[in-house]
């Protein structure tokens, strides 16, 4: 069932040239294609723009039969369809909006399609399985494969139906593709889709020409104006809500530079016009919600600024990744406030039980990125499973290291307070105990009798909150759904004096200490 097509060059590079006109594979494309041609199931994790589609489209053309592509969105499918057809690939979609169903089915059965795009819910339909069994399938390609995982940020229950379908065609190899998968999600995708662990191929995620900077938001308008002044080239400012997009676009546009808004609430023709103006411009700024940027081809974006915390590290990476596609120096600046985290934690409480754990882990990872005193790029790349050097020389923390202080002793005090109060109290209560505030609750529980009561000095007290966040970011403290803190990770090692803890001095403390 798995045969090369006689009319296409058997060598992948020759076929690449013949079908796409490209001279060479990029990054890990050749590894992925080689595995697929070897009939081995694979999970390819490649950043946006790395050329994922080619890794199934090329084998689809090289092999007899049809590659069935599962894709979560009709709009995505139609984009793919257009570009595949533009390369002379015989492709079709099978969706609820297609009018050429009968023709598509006839071609599919006759083996005259290289690619058939379908939505995941089709997998559960018995007549689809029957249809597949009467055709010749060369490959299952699962696009946006993170949708199969509850750990992923975009879980689609229908993706779980793919496994039983594919198991019915066990001889057909599987190629799962995603741009966004942390370690947890990857392991889950492998398991959910029945791909062996040695089938994981991860492309390099580093974007060395992007300089990352993450800074507290004190005066966003002034901060954004400064970013614009320092970066005269095209830029994107991401804001969380439509109202904020409108307001910021107006305020930033008052400077004379062309600034336009973009969000899903604008009329389609306005959106299209603003997008076209941005793509054509050499100095325009687009203020937008995350609805902006998907599929936009503008290589010379010089800066991406976030006016608030993004949803996840994946989102941050994807959004900042729109800067500097041409390889020239570019910047990514994130302005964040503690209130961003408070709101995000509140949203956690509104979620389904099944999603809370994954979303909390995502938020903790983001906190780790924001609060690190170390290299931002290292945190990002480690998140994507790479093993980067400790310092990159091209992020805010590498360029001007923040002052941090050894807080190991204080951490031991905080952790013992957590332990001695029974690992269920929130930060506020622990702070009172440690600083010796005997309010009603402290007295009622007898916490004023503990050895940790009042052991933190007035000088150290202002560090406690940052320390608690840092310990949560590294997993030494774990918050339950009510904010109660328990020991986790390396907490015991810290308590035993086997691990140390550094904490970035909050600005106020730094001034107070006169450092």
Three-state SS at 418? helix
**Nearest Cα to 73, choosing from 294, 289, 349?**
294
Q: How many angstroms separate the CA atoms of 299 and 243, rounded?
A: 28
Inter-residue contact 239 to 261 (CB < 8 Å): no
Count of residues that interact with Zn ion, criterion CB under 5 A = 5
**Nearest Cα to 199, choosing from 367, 31, 19, 423?**
31
As measured in angstroms, the least distance from the Cβ of 16 to ligand ADP is: 7
As measured in angstroms, the least distance from the Cβ of 319 to ligand ADP is: 14
Binding of Zn ion by 395 (CB under 5 A): yes
Please identify the residue of the shown chain whose CB is closest to the bound ligand ADP.
Answer: 51
Binding of ligand ADP by 31 (CB under 6 A): no
Binding of Zn ion by 398 (CB under 5 A): yes
Neighbours of 418 (CB within 10 A): 27
Nearer to Zn ion, 304 or 395 (CB): 395
Q: How far is residue 284 CA from its own chain's centroid?
A: 26
Binding of Zn ion by 365 (CB under 5 A): no
Nearer to ligand ADP, 76 or 213 (CB): 76
Binding of Zn ion by 381 (CB under 5 A): no
Q: For residue 432, which phi and psi values (nearest 5 degrees)?
A: -60, -45
As measured in angstroms, the least distance from the Cβ of 398 to Zn ion is: 3
Q: How many angstroms separate the CA atoms of 338 and 345, rounded?
A: 11
Q: How many angstroms separate the CA atoms of 419 and 471, rounded?
A: 14
Nearer to ligand ADP, 55 or 476 (CB): 55
As measured in angstroms, the least distance from the Cβ of 378 to Zn ion is: 6
Please list the residues that pair with 293 across neighbouring strands: none
Q: How many angstroms separate the CA atoms of 412 and 344, rounded?
A: 28
Choosing from 37, 43, 45, 50, the residue that interacts with ligand ADP (CB under 6 A) is: 50
Q: How many angstroms separate the CA atoms of 212 and 178, rounded?
A: 23
Maximum separation of any 2 CA atoms in the chain, in Å = 84
Of the chain, the end-to-end C-alpha distance in Å amounts to: 71
Q: How many angstroms separate the CA atoms of 354 and 2, rounded?
A: 40
As measured in angstroms, the least distance from the Cβ of 380 to Zn ion is: 9
As measured in angstroms, the least distance from the Cβ of 224 to ligand ADP is: 28
β strands within 189-315, DSSP E = 200-202, 210-216, 235-238, 259-262, 285-288, 303-306
Binding of ligand ADP by 293 (CB under 6 A): no
What stretch of H or E contains 178? strand 174-178
**Nearest Cα to 378, choosing from 389, 366, 394?**
389
**Nearest Cα to 246, choosing from 321, 307, 333?**
307
Please report which residue ranges of 350-407 form alpha helices under DSSP H: 353-371, 376-383, 396-399
Burial class (CB within 10 angstroms; exposed 0-12, middle 13-18, buried 19+) of 499: middle
Residue 377's binding partner among Zn ion, ligand ADP, none (Cβ under 5 to 8 angstroms by kind) is Zn ion
What's the Rg (C-alpha) of the chain?
26
* Interface stretch with Zn ion, choices 15-23, 110-118, 309-317, 391-399 (CB under 5 A): 391-399
Binding of ligand ADP by 53 (CB under 6 A): yes
Residue 51's binding partner among ligand ADP, Zn ion, none (Cβ under 5 to 8 angstroms by kind) is ligand ADP
- Each residue 3-22 as x (binds ligand ADP by CB under 6 A) or -, in order, gives -------------------x
As measured in angstroms, the least distance from the Cβ of 500 to Zn ion is: 21
As measured in angstroms, the least distance from the Cβ of 230 to Zn ion is: 19
Binding of ligand ADP by 52 (CB under 6 A): yes
As measured in angstroms, the least distance from the Cβ of 379 to Zn ion is: 9
The tokens of 184 are what? 């947890």
Binding of Zn ion by 286 (CB under 5 A): no
Residue 395's binding partner among Zn ion, ligand ADP, none (Cβ under 5 to 8 angstroms by kind) is Zn ion
Residues 6+ apart with CB under 8 A from 7: none
Choosing from 377, 383, 447, 474, the residue that interacts with Zn ion (CB under 5 A) is: 377
- What's the number of CA atoms in the CB half-sphere (13 Å) around residue 35? 21
Binding of ligand ADP by 54 (CB under 6 A): yes
Binding of ligand ADP by 26 (CB under 6 A): yes
Three-state SS at 39? coil
Choosing from 12, 19, 25, 152, the residue that interacts with ligand ADP (CB under 6 A) is: 25
Choosing from 31, 48, 281, 391, the residue that interacts with ligand ADP (CB under 6 A) is: 48
* Interface stretch with ligand ADP, choices 41-49, 300-308, 320-328, 373-381 (CB under 6 A): 41-49
Nearer to Zn ion, 193 or 375 (CB): 375
* Interface stretch with ligand ADP, choices 42-50, 222-230, 343-351, 373-381 (CB under 6 A): 42-50
Choosing from 375, 466, 494, 504, the residue that interacts with Zn ion (CB under 5 A) is: 375
As measured in angstroms, the least distance from the Cβ of 30 to Zn ion is: 30
Binding of ligand ADP by 175 (CB under 6 A): no
- Binding interface with ligand ADP (CB under 6 A): 22, 25-26, 29, 46, 48-54
- Binding interface with Zn ion (CB under 5 A): 375, 377, 392, 395, 398
């Amino acid at each position: 069932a798995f045969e090369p097509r006689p009319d296409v060059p058997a060598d992948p590079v020759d076929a690449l040239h013949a079908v796409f006109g490209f001279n060479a594979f990029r990054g890990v494309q050749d590894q992925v294609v080689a595995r697929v041609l070897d009939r081995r199931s694979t999970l390819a994790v490649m950043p946006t723009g790395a050329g994922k589609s080619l890794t199934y489209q090329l084998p689809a053309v090289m092999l007899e039969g049809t590659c069935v592509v599962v894709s979560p969105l009709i709009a995505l499918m139609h984009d793919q369809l257009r570009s595949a057809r533009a390369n002379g690939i015989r492709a079709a979609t099978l969706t609820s909006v297609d009018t050429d169903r009968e023709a598509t089915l006839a071609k599919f059965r006759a083996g005259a399609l290289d690619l058939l795009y379908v939505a995941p819910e089709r997998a559960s339909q018995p007549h689809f399985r029957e249809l597949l069994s009467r055709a010749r399938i060369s490959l299952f390609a699962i696009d946006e494969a993170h949708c199969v995982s509850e750990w992923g940020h975009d879980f689609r229950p229908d993706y779980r139906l793919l496994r039983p379908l594919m198991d019915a065609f066990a001889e057909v190899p599987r190629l799962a593709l995603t741009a966004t998968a942390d370690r947890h999600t990857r392991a889950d995708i492998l398991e959910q889709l029945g791909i062996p662990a040695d089938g994981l191929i991860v492309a390099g995620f580093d974007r060395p020409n992007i300089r990352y900077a993450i800074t507290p938001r004190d005066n966003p308008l002034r901060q954004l104006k400064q970013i614009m002044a320092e970066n005269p080239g095209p830029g994107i400012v991401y804001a969380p809500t439509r109202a904020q997009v409108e307001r910021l676009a107006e305020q930033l546009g008052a400077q004379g530079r062309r600034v336009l808004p973009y969000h899903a609430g604008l009329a389609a023709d306005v959106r299209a016009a603003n997008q076209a103006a941005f793509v054509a411009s050499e100095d325009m700024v687009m203020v937008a919600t995350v609805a902006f940027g998907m599929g936009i081809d503008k290589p010379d974006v010089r800066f991406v600024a976030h006016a608030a915390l993004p949803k996840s590290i994946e989102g941050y990476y994807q959004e900042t990744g729109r800067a500097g596609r041409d390889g020239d120096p570019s910047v990514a600046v994130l302005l964040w406030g503690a209130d961003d985290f408070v709101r995000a934690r509140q949203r956690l409480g509104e979620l389904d039980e099944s999603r809370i754990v994954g979303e909390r882990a995502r938020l903790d990872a983001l906190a780790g990125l924001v609060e690190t005193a170390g290299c931002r790029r290292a945190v990002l790349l480690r998140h994507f499973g790479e093993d980067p050097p400790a310092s990159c020389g091209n992020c805010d923390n590498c360029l001007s290291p923040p002052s941090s202080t050894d807080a190991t002793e204080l951490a031991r005090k905080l952790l013992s307070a957590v332990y001695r109060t029974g690992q269920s109290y929130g930060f506020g209560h622990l702070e009172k105990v440690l600083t010796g505030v005997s309010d009603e609750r402290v007295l009622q529980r007898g916490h004023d009798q503990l050895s940790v009561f009042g052991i933190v000095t007035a000088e150290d007290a202002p560090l406690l909150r940052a320390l608690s966040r840092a310990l949560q970011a590294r997993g030494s403290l774990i918050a339950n759904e009510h904010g109660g803190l328990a020991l986790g990770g390396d907490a015991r090692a810290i308590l035993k004096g086997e691990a140390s803890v550094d904490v970035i001095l909050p600005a106020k403390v730094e001034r107070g200490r006169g450092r």
